[in-house]
Amino acid sequence: MLIVVPTKEFAGEDSKISTVTEAHTFVFVQLGEGMQIEAIHEKPTFENELFDYIVSPDKNDNLDEAFDLGARALLARKGMSIEEIVEAMMFRELDEIV
């Protein structure tokens, strides 16, 4: 599973979530069995990328482009790190944004 997390600054698993509109970079996290992080890298945009989920701290965030790419969106708390988001996904604690 590939998830995308918008951030203002890349700091690996410690990167903090931001809204898509505030993001300076997007962190792509490849998850394997048991929600283990297999790979993590950053890109300046998610345009024309294929991924399963985008995570946002704002249910009113501009997610139209992600939806157009076929991704689903999850709602996380403000200030969550990549590591905290993955843990919350493992326990199904994130709500879907529709």
**pLDDT confidence bin for 34, thresholds 50/70/90:** confident
Give the predicted TM-score (pTM) of the model: 0.94
Residues 81, 79: Cα–Cα separation, whole Å: 6
Confidence at 8, pLDDT banded by 50, 70, 90 = very high
Distances (CA, A) of 91 to 14, 23, 84, 87: 19, 26, 11, 7
pLDDT at 35 over 90: no
Average pLDDT over residues 81-97: 96
Q: How many residues does the chain have?
A: 98
- Domains observed in the chain: 2-97 (3.30.420.130)
Residue 71 to residue 54: CA distance in whole angstroms: 7
Share of the chain above pLDDT 90, in %: 94
Question: For residues 27 and 10, is the Cβ–Cβ distance under 8 A?
Answer: yes
